[in-house]
Structure 1
Amino acid sequence: MKLHKLLLFLLLVTFASKGFAQSSSELKRKKEAIQREIELLQRNLNKAASSKKLTLGEIRALNAKIGLMQNKITVINSEIKNLDNQIHENTNTVHSLRDQLGQLKKEYAGMIRFAQRNRNSYDKMMFIFAANDFNQAYKRIKYLQQFGQYRKKQADYIQGTEKNLNYKIVVLDKSLKEKNNLLREQENERQRLDKNKSERATVLNQVSKQEKRFRQDIATRKRQQAQIDRSIRDAIRREIEIARRAEEARRKAEAEEAARVAAAAAAKAKAENRPAPAVVAEKPKATGNYLNATPELAKLSASFESNRGSLPWPVANGTITERFGKHTEGQASYDNSGVTITTGEGASIRAVFNGKVTKVSSVMGMYFVLIKHGEYFTVYQNLRSVSVAAGDNVTTKQTIGVVANSGEMPELQFQIYRGATAQNPESWIAR
């Protein structure tokens, strides 16, 4: 029973170690992903540093970088907490294995002493011949055989336990070294974070000194964005109007066909001198949404909606540097109808879902692409060049263009609409 308990204990320890390893590897992957985003932003900031003029893109990138560094420190804290739990578990395991090993050695020593006292064959033969009957003698023979096998098995268990104990001690030492490395990494990240916060304070101080110019920049940005948004909403409204007219034309054709059939039936009944069949007026179908009027469009809308939270990003690598909704910079405020994603220079822009390109337009030298997915629309703004045209069907992750630089930053303005209502893209794309 003791051996069975020991085996069960070792199995539980093994499974716990596997669970920790999985969690630790996930945290490492998350930390590496955050570091890649930090490095991407830093490269863009380094390029922008050559410009004398401070841009909103730089401020957004710096804020995003600080947020990512804070996230990285949080991940490191989680790694340290995981290691603390593992160190605690391994320490308990080492103590338990030492106790088990001591007990096994004690039992084994008792068996050795017993074997020593009964080591010659004569004593064993006398033990067997002293049996009251043949059945008891047979049982004594089996006992001696099983005793020898058990002693060998006990020795194997002792060796296995010693091996496992030594392994756990090595793992424990490795975990302690890893924890020390993480503590050093955490301290270095905190120092870098403090440095970046100081840089941000300097930048914000510079912004306050250039408040007038920044208000002008934001006003210009608002005018440009308002012009683009009007163009996008007009395009969406045109699509809805086209769908409405198509649906009304279909209904009218159906009504005319029904009237023709009814008239033919009435004429036939009159010719046959019998009452005309009663005409049951068909109840008008409520469409609710003209963009979903056909089964194909309704299926596409449902498929798009079912992928909420798991749509691919419109860029292979990037960081959201400005979120959906209202924003304030100094005394000026503005709305973002989507998200601003800072990416690498010359990055390819990809469609996030199957759909049809309904508009490609150039506003102030930059392109935007509008793609229809049933009742949903995705918008890709600030493209330097495009590789699709209105009427093209596109597939998920198909390249549709190349990002342009806003000032000194390669930024994509990405939007999602349901009908004419803007959605928060962060709730749709994969985390």
Structure 2
Amino acid sequence: MSFSCLVPVFFLGIGVSAQSKMQLENEKKQNLKKIAETHKILQETSGEKKATLGKLNAISAQISTRRELINSINREIKLLDEEIAEIDQLTESIEEDLVSLKKEYAALIYATAKANKGYHKLMYLFASSSFRQLFARMQSLQQYTKARQLQKVQIEKAKQRLEQQRKKRNEKRYEEKILIQSQDSENKSLTVLQIQHSEVVKQLSEREEELKKEIEDNQKNLRKIDQYITELLEKELKKVRETEKNRPNITKNTPEVENPRKTSVSESGVASSFAGLKSRMDWPVQSGFVAEKFGVHPHPTIKGISVRHAGVVIQTSREEIVRCVFDGKVFFIGDSYGVTFVIVEHESYFTVYRNLKNVSVKAKQAIKAHEIIGQVSTDNEGIAKLEFQVGKDGTYLDPENWLSGR
């Protein structure tokens, strides 16, 4: 295959691999950031002598993120192998071209010498029998000279390209070596974490009955708080509906609207903006991970027990600042069963921030996105957890469908 034929295909491949490599680099940066965050949270839980569910959650999050990082590194190594194979293919093609160019160059020198019949250039010209022959010989010599010069330039360029590809290959090999070392290091860290995970699970299993009662009591309290919040929201919705129902209709010959609340320009504008945040919403805390998911699911450690959450539980760092996720109005600030919570209205949507301390907002005040609401409170085991809820018209929605990926 000639160099000219190989170039378009090769550089198309380089463009695709460069894009893939950039994606992998971004993915790796995100994973390293998550590892740093969960490591900080894990260090905070490590101060506790006894095994806790919070410690188990932090270890599980570390394991999950490190596996993602190892997968990213594996894909990056595979991509480098493909790039090296492409470079080897191009190098081989250039080497073949170089051999051909050298052969052509040698053939030109031989052809020139043969045409001159061994004479010196001037003697060859003066030996012409006529002016026409002299002119023809001059043209022939010029053509041979140009051809030789061109071949020489092409040979030099081919040598330069060859040197560039060899240098690039060495760089890729070194890059791959660093990645393999990083992969080995991450695998060792993963093994240590898996051992820690097994030890914590074993310790928690020994306290199964105690933990089971603790979880069941906690679930009862959560259900009561959820019911309290639901009743508050239903009362507010009822008041809104009554207001809409009793509002005088001053517009004549206007078709009756099935649900006036949905057709309000100001409201639909805000609500649609909130709806537009789906999968793009900033997290209410700067660092952390989802320790417990929305809905009903089996407990990860204690067998025969299920847990239910009307939102997600985000385990984070101690003293972590909690911020509002979108513009709205503080609807209610409450304290129930020792748990402080704030409800923010976003027209037909609402968000709930639960397990707070040092609340810095007041009921009925307007609030902007990213404005500070308070700080995350810690439980009796020193674990900082925020329960974050999203809902619409009194119905709870899965916050993970709204929060941006981390």
TM range (shorter): 0.7 to 0.9
395, 400, 403: which is aligned to 1:426? 400
In structure 2, distance between residues paired with 1:381 and 1:9: 62
Deviation, 1:248, is: 1.0
Equivalent in the alignment of 1:196 = 193
Whichever residue aligns with residue 408 of structure 1, its letter is G
Q: 1:301 aligns with which of 259, 264, 271?
A: 271
- 8 A Cα contact 1:376 1:419, kept in partner: yes
Q: How far does residue 286 in structure 1 lie from its aligned partner after superposition?
A: 0.6
Return the offset for 1:311.
Answer: 1.6
- Give 5+ residue unaligned stretches, structure 2: none
Contact 1:87 1:175 in 2 (8 A): yes
Once the two structures are superposed, the pairs formed by residues 40-59 of structure 1 within 5 Å of their partners are 40-59=37-56
Please tell me whether the aligned partners of residues 316 and 384 of structure 2 are also in contact (alpha carbons under 8 angstroms). yes
Residue 72 of structure 2 is aligned to residue 68 of structure 1? no
Total equivalences in the alignment: 396
Q: Unpaired segments of 5 or more residues in structure 1?
A: 262-279
1:210 aligns with 2:210: no
Q: How does 1:238-277 map to 2 (within 5 A)?
A: 238-250=235-247, 253-254=248-249, 257=250
**TM-score (normalised: structure 2):** 0.86
Deviates more, 1:144-153 or 1:122-131: 122-131
Aligned amino acid, residue 208 of structure 1:
S
Instruction: Out of 202-211 and 36-45, give the one that drifted further.
Output: 36-45
Matched, 1:236 2:236: no
2:132 aligned partner: 130
The equivalent of 2:291 in structure 1 is: 321
State the AA in 2 paired with 1:333: S
| AA in 2 matched with 1:130 | R
Q: Do the aligned residues in 2 keep the contact of 1:128 with 1:141 (CA within 8 Å)? A: no
C-alpha separation in 2, matches of 1:111 and 1:129 = 25
Cα deviation, residue 239, structure 1: 3.0
1:343 maps to 2:316: yes
Aligned partners of 2:45 and 2:54 also within 8 Å:
no
Q: Which amino acid aligns with 2:132?
A: A
Deviation at 1:296, TM superposition (A): 0.9
Aligned match for 2:390, one of 416, 420, 424: 416
Q: 2-side partners of 1:48 and 1:421: how far apart?
A: 34
Query: Distance in 2 between the 1:215 and 1:398 partners?
Result: 38
Taking structure 1 as the reference length, the TM-score comes to: 0.81
Map 1:67-216; keep pairs closer than 5 Å. Answer: 67-117=64-114, 118=116, 120=121, 123=124, 129-130=131-132, 148-149=145-146, 151-216=148-213
Quick one: structure 1 residues 156 and 219, their matched pair in 2 at CA, closer, same or farther if it must change by over 3 Å? Answer: same
Aligned CA distance change for structure 1 residues 6 and 360 (closer, same or farther; 3 Å): same
Residue 386 of structure 2 aligns to which amino acid in structure 1?
L
Decide which moves more: 14-23 or 330-339.
14-23
Cα–Cα, structure 1 residues 145 and 15, in superposed 2: closer, same or farther, change >3 Å? Answer: farther
Deviation readout 1:185-204 (Å, 9 max, x if unpaired): 32332232222222222211
Structure-2 residue corresponding to 1:277? none
- Give, in whole Å, the separation in 2 of the partners of 1:160 and 1:394: 66
CA contact (8 A) 2:57 2:291 kept: yes
Decide which moves more: 225-234 or 359-368: 359-368
Percent identical: 27
| Matched-pair contact (CA < 8 Å) for 1:247–1:293 | no
> Residue by residue, what CA displacement relative to the aligned partner does 1:21-62 show, whole Å, maximum 9, x if unpaired?
332233233223212322322222222222234332222222
C-alpha RMSD of matched pairs (Å) = 3.0
